[in-house]
């Protein structure tokens, strides 16, 4: 129960931040153009508000409202342009399904149509030019978009781009059938494309398929040069569209490492343990994941023998 409440609180807090940023976009552009914003609410407040505050005028909790000592009746008629923030009621609603800015002269979530019956005033939304009204309406989405960019930039700044350099890929790469047809072999480590060294996998693929010649390290000692045919990139595209492979040219070759064993199931009964590295299924070698799963095909419901790296036979 405690975990549920924590997760619920985190969800509501995250949603509240999105609402604040979105509604602040509407608020900011409205005030820049001299439009009165009557209310700024986080979450909806049908029937009552948890908290509401009007600068220098009043503060309220639930249905109780108290005038502040700075309040003067003449402030009620203060022209909007004299205060950027001070002529708006700020509040927290109780229904966490969104929020709203009640902008004068605009029918919004509040569905207040009474104000439309009076003549337009120069500080109302409906009195402003079309381009200003458009900016006020799209500002919320614009601010959410900017927030997404800021969050992504923050993640990249903190985490950075993480990848395994080719010289640390001890098992090399796995290649698609089209790549193998022109000379690549599973386990090859890319070294250079047209003489230019390759290190960043995010940029290497396009460099390799557009090159005339690619140099790879094979078997940990031999350097092999592979000629790349013209328009090879189109062969790869056709291969993927035909569903012949799930490998787009190449990917890292990964060992078969057991990360979790379900108690009471066949693997646990057979002696498989977390951390085991499986190198064979029956008599079929499985040095990497791309060989492991095909080796298991057709063996559902049957006993199989797995061999881990220490060559201990595990019967399942």
The model's pLDDT over 47-65, given as tens digits with 9 standing for 90+, comes to: 889 999 888 888 888 878 8
Same domain as 154, residue 135: yes
Same domain as 172, residue 154: no
Same domain as 197, residue 65: no
Q: Do 287 and 279 meet the contact criterion of CB atoms below 8 Å apart? A: yes
Domain residues for the domain of 93 are 2-159
For β-strands 37-44 and 89-92, DSSP reports them as: parallel
Report residue 67 as tokens.
């005038």
Same domain as 179, residue 132: no
Same domain as 300, residue 191: no
- Tell me which residue of 273, 270, 274 sits closest to 282, measured CA to CA: 270
CA atoms in the 13 A half-sphere facing the CB of 155: 7
Same domain as 127, residue 36: yes
Domains identified in the chain, total number:
3
| 260 found inside a domain | no
List the strands of the sheet with 284-285, edge to edge: 284-285, 278-281, 305-308, 313-315
Of 132, 159, 186, the residue at which a domain comes to its end is 159
The model's pLDDT over 106-139, given as tens digits with 9 standing for 90+, comes to: 876 556 666 667 787 888 888 899 999 999 999 9
Q: What is the DSSP string of 227-281?
A: EPPTTHHHHHHHHHHTTS-S-SSEEE----B-----TTSHHHHHT--TT-BEEEE
Same domain as 172, residue 152: no
Same domain as 134, residue 89: yes
Same domain as 146, residue 222: no
The model's pLDDT over 137-190, given as tens digits with 9 standing for 90+, comes to: 999 999 999 999 999 998 888 876 677 788 788 888 889 999 999 999 988 999
**CA separation (Å) from 69 to 59, 78, 264?**
11, 17, 71
What sign does the CA torsion over 252, 257, 262, 265 have? positive
- Taken as a whole, the chain contains a residue count of 316
pLDDT for residue 76: 54
Contacts of residue 218, defined as CB under 8 A and 6 or more positions apart, other chains included, come to 185, 187, 188, 189, 224
In a 3-state reduction of DSSP, which class is residue 172? coil
Residue 2 has pLDDT above 60, yes or no: yes
Residue 316 has pLDDT above 50, yes or no: no
| 66 found inside a domain | yes
């Amino acid at each position: 129960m405690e975990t549920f409440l924590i997760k619920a609180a985190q969800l509501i807090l995250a949603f509240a931040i999105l609402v604040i940023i979105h509604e602040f976009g509407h608020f900011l552009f409205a005030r820049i153009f001299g439009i009165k914003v009557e209310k700024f609410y986080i979450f909806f407040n049908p029937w009552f508000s948890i908290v509401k505050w009007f600068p220098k005028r009043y503060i309220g909790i639930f249905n109780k409202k108290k005038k502040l000592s700075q309040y003067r009746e003449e402030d009620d008629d203060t022209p909007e342009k004299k205060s950027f923030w001070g002529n708006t009621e700020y509040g927290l609603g109780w229904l966490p399904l969104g929020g709203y800015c009640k902008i004068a002269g605009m029918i919004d979530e509040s569905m207040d149509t009474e104000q439309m019956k009076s003549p337009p005033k120069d500080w109302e939304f409906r009195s402003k030019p079309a381009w200003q009204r458009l900016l006020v309406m799209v500002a919320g989405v614009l601010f959410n978009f900017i927030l997404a960019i800021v969050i992504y930039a923050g993640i990249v700044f903190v985490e950075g781009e993480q990848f395994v350099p080719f010289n640390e890929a001890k098992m090399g790469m796995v290649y698609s059938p089209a790549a193998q047809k022109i000379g690549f072999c599973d386990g090859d480590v890319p070294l250079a494309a047209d003489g230019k060294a390759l290190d960043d996998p995010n940029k290497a693929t396009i460099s390799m398929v557009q090159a005339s010649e690619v140099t790879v390290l094979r078997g940990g000692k031999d350097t092999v040069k592979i000629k790349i045919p013209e328009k090879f990139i189109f062969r790869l595209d056709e291969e993927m569209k035909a569903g012949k492979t799930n490998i787009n040219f190449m990917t890292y070759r990964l060992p078969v490492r057991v990360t979790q064993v379900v108690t009471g199931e066949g693997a646990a009964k057979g002696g498989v343990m977390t951390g085991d590295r499986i190198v064979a299924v029956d008599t079929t070698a499985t040095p990497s994941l791309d060989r492991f799963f095909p080796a298991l095909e057709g063996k559902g419901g049957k006993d199989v023998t797995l061999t881990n790296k220490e060559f201990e036979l595990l019967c399942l």
